Structure 1
């Protein structure tokens, strides 16, 4: 693992860089199977207002992971995570019963991947949910997402299947936020962490 990351709440000024990381994440993870039209809807220019609204919404949480070595500018933001209450989904099997929080979006810059930032962001979001009284977490991932193995490695189990953006997807669940946090932080214990929660 290289570098140290600081996890903090996103602020409105982060919206453009979050939109850029989101767009690049979609291209990297889904560009080989998502339609060009769907990818175009995730363009950074179109998503800045979307992210401003999410950052300002007290019902959800948007966190960013920053590399202090890169300074205080937007270039320091290396990843983002967004989550909140469990949302309705077009399911074909399984159940989300018993899950009380959801990770909606997690992306890191390609240069930060494999360095523990995704785990730190996931753990920080889980801690935030836990502080608000949540006990469990679910997330959806496209079946053809090459990065799905990350969720297997941090203990996710498949609890449902469905459709999103015209693609098959699956839900990973964690019945206990403590186990998710332990799985994430156990592999990142050499990183310096700061969470504003």
Structure 2
């Protein structure tokens, strides 16, 4: 059985592991291998510790048994050039749990929290060549723009998806 729950300090080791697994799986051949090879679950866990401590951010984990299998975080929109109240910062699911509804459930939980915090609209930024980006389209996201992100000197194109009504994002999960 999978449960979705607020992230806790004791979840961070699993969050770091899932983060590295997901990046290496999804972005091999896209993100420079020099970067992927350097990724360390402990470093990722420490980075997410700061997120957990920020009260403006929502941070949820998916747990199967006692093992973290996915996580999502979000909060106020940081992409100023794109109009939205909230932003999904991260959404990662362990590759062995893909296509089992974990991502949808995590996004739905974020959408509920965004609504509770009074947010009306949501954006998410993802690599244009992310093999999993169609997930956002299936949830009703509309591409509203592009940006770039530099990793180890390689400039990667990104796309920005938007939902004008966070409630629409929640309804599509059901």
Could you tell me the TM-score, scaled by structure 1's length? 0.82
Report the alpha carbon displacement of residue 83 of structure 1 after superposing the two structures with TM. Answer: 0.9
- In 1, distance between residues paired with 2:37 and 2:115? 35
Cα distance change of structure 1 residues 10 and 139 upon mapping to structure 2, 3 Å threshold: same
Aligned to 1:79: 70
Distance (whole Å) between structure 2 residues aligned to residue 53 and residue 40 of structure 1: 23
Q: Relative to 1, partners in 2 of residues 1:41 and 1:83: Cα closer, same or farther, differing over 3 Å?
A: farther
Contact in 2 for aligned 1:174/1:180 (Cα 8 Å): yes
TM-score w.r.t. structure 2 length? 0.92
In the TM superposition, what whole-angstrom CA distance separates every residue of 1:97-146 from its partner, at most 9, and x where no partner exists?
Answer: 2x100001101111211111100000100110110000110000101100
Aligned partners of 1:49, 1:7: CA distance in 2, in Å?
Answer: 21
How far the C-alpha of 1:148 sits from its partner, in A, is 0.8
Aligned counterparts of 2:123 and 2:166: Cα–Cα separation in 1: 10
Whole-angstrom distance in 1 between the partners of 2:55 and 2:39: 23
Shift of 1:40: 4.2
Give distance in 2, aligned partners of 1:171 and 1:160.
5
RMSD: 1.4
Partner of 1:193: none
State the 1:57 CA deviation: 1.4
Partner of 1:126, secondary structure, is helix
**Is contact 1:130–1:177 with CA below 8 Å preserved after alignment?**
yes
Write the mapping of 1:1-197 to structure 2, written as runs, cut at 5 A: 4-40=1-37, 42-67=39-64, 70=65, 73=66, 75=67, 77-88=68-79, 95-97=81-83, 99-165=84-150, 166-185=155-174
More strand by share: 2
1:39 shift after superposition: 2.1
Give the superposition deviation at 1:36: 2.4
The C-alpha deviation readout for 1:63-93, integer Å capped at 9, x for no partner, is 00112xx2xx3x2x2110011111137xxxx
**Any unmatched runs of 5+ in structure 1?**
90-94, 186-197
Deviation at 1:49, TM superposition (A): 1.4
Structure 2, unmatched stretches of 5+, are none
* Aligned residue-pair number: 170
